[in-house]
Amino acid sequence: AIICMGNSFEGSILALTNLLELKVPCIAVRAATKQKAQIFKSVGAHQVFFVEEEMGKVLAHSFSRPAILHTMDLGYDLKLVEWSPARWTWGKALGQLQLPQKHRVQIVAIRRKNNPRSIIFPSSDIVLDENTLTLLMGTDRDLQRLQERED
């Protein structure tokens, strides 16, 4: 369960205690301050999050890596990102790029900008271009290195 009641601290505490009584296995609560986060944890929240802090991270990430369009943290330093391939990949087949071997990232799926609803599963003969969007999986460090490559 996710409790995200804005500024209603009392309402969040009541919802949390009710969900705990119902034995909900995982309860995440939005906190406005570190002090309120500590109270939620002491009452029994499994996770506490700060919306403003998380949004700040998302915005900072999008400014620092403009070719990465969306990011999903999978835990244990593993991420899934939507990447608009760099110019150095255009006109090259996936087999030629050898992204898993050379960059330690794996393309999970491909879409074309002119047909975003159609999902293409990667094969070594698919050629990337400026109209390609890829879904990549890898560690944050490896994805950042790929993003920084310019040749």
| pLDDT (0 to 100) of residue 66 | 46
Contact 151, 97 (CB under 8 A): no
Instruction: Write the pLDDT tens digit of every residue in 95-119.
Output: 999 999 999 999 999 989 888 788 8
- Rounded to an integer, the average pLDDT of 139-151 is 81
| pLDDT (0 to 100) of residue 20 | 97
Phi, psi torsion values for 3, nearest 5 degrees: -110, 115
From the list 60, 104, 105, the residue with the least C-alpha distance to 83 is 105
Question: How many of the other CB atoms lie within 10 Å of CB of 16?
Answer: 21
pTM, whole model, 2 decimals? 0.54
Which residue did the predictor score with more confidence, 71 or 120? 120
Residues 6+ away with beta carbon under 8 Å from 78: 137, 138, 139
Residue 90 tokens read as: 């255009």
| pLDDT (0 to 100) of residue 82 | 86
